[in-house]
A and B are shown apart, each in its own frame.
Chain A
Amino acid sequence: DVKVTQSSRYLVKRTGEKVFLECVQDMDHENMFWYRQDPGLGLRLIYFSYDVKMKEKGDIPEGYSVSREKKERFSLILESASTNQTSMYLCASSRAGGPSGELFFGEGSRLTVL
C-alpha cells in the first residue's frame, strides 16, 4: 500500500515563526502536492512538483515555498507564519502522467498560528 507520511499531525506556532512541514511517500511517485483545507473551501492547491528539483505554483502560493531535493520528500515552508495560515495542510502524491492519477493523501498536519 502507498503510504504518505506527514511529519507532524498538530503544530502550534507563533506569528512570524518559520514553519517546516515535511512529507514523505514510499511508492516512488513522481508527483507530489501540498493542499490546505479550510471549512467550506475544499482543498486548495498551494504548490506541486512533477519531478525532483521541480516546483510549480498552485492556486494559493503566497506566503509559502517548497523544496523537493529528493523524489520521496516534499517540504512546505512558511517563511513567516501568519494567523491566516492556520489550517489543515494535506500532502498528496500520485504516479507520473499529470492530472490523471489517483491522489494518495497523508493524514494531514493541523497548524495553529497564534
Chain B
Amino acid sequence: GQQVMQIPQYQHVQEGEDFTTYCNSSTTLSNIQWYKQRPGGHPVFLIQLVKSGEVKKQKRLTFQFGEAKKNSSLHITATQTTDVGTYFCAASYGQNFVFGPGTRLSVLP
C-alpha cells in the first residue's frame, strides 16, 4: 500500500522556539489532513489542504501543501507547553487516508 513519510520522529524544543514537521509522499495526493493527539488522548482534526500550493493559518500554526501535492508541512511559531503532543499527517490517495507515523513534540518550559 501507499506509505507516507513524516519527519522528524521526535522534536524537543524550548518554549518559544519554532517547530516544523514534514510529511512526504512518493505519489500525488488528492488532499491531506493534519491531526494532533495529546498524550493519553485521541487524534483531533486540525485542518485539510486540497489545492496545490495551499497555505492555511490557524493562529500560530501554518499549514502548507506542496506545489506538486506530494508533500506538506506544519509549522508552529513560538511553541507553548499546550502544543505538546503528536502531530500526524493523513494523506488521501483517493479512497482512504494513510496516516504518517507522526512527530512527537516536547516543549520544555
* A→B interface (CB under 8 Å): 33, 35, 40-45, 48, 58-59, 90, 98-100, 102-108
Contact = CB atoms under 8 A, between A and B. Distances in A.
B101 A45 contact: no
Given A99-B94, A99-B95, A99-B97, A42 B33 contact: no
B100 interface: yes
A43 B4 CA distance: 11
A74 B101 CA distance: 25
30 contacts: A33-B96, A35-B99, A40-B9, A42-B4, A42-B88, A42-B99, A42-B101, A43-B88, A43-B99, A44-B99, A45-B97, A45-B98, A59-B98, A90-B42, A98-B95, A99-B31, A99-B92, A100-B30, A100-B92, A102-B45, A102-B48, A103-B35, A103-B43, A104-B45, A105-B43, A105-B44, A106-B42, A107-B41, A107-B42, A108-B42
Interface in B75-105: 88, 90, 92, 94-102
A3 B106 CA distance: 28
B109 interface: no
Nearest to B95: A99
A103 B1 contact: no
Q: Which size class do B's interface residues fall under?
A: 20 to 34
B96 A58 contact: yes
A99 B42 contact: no
Given A102-B45, A105-B42, A41 B95 contact: no
B11 to A, nearest CB: 15
A59 B1 CA distance: 7
Given A40-B9, A40-B101, A90-B43, A103 B33 contact: yes
A7 to B, nearest CB: 15
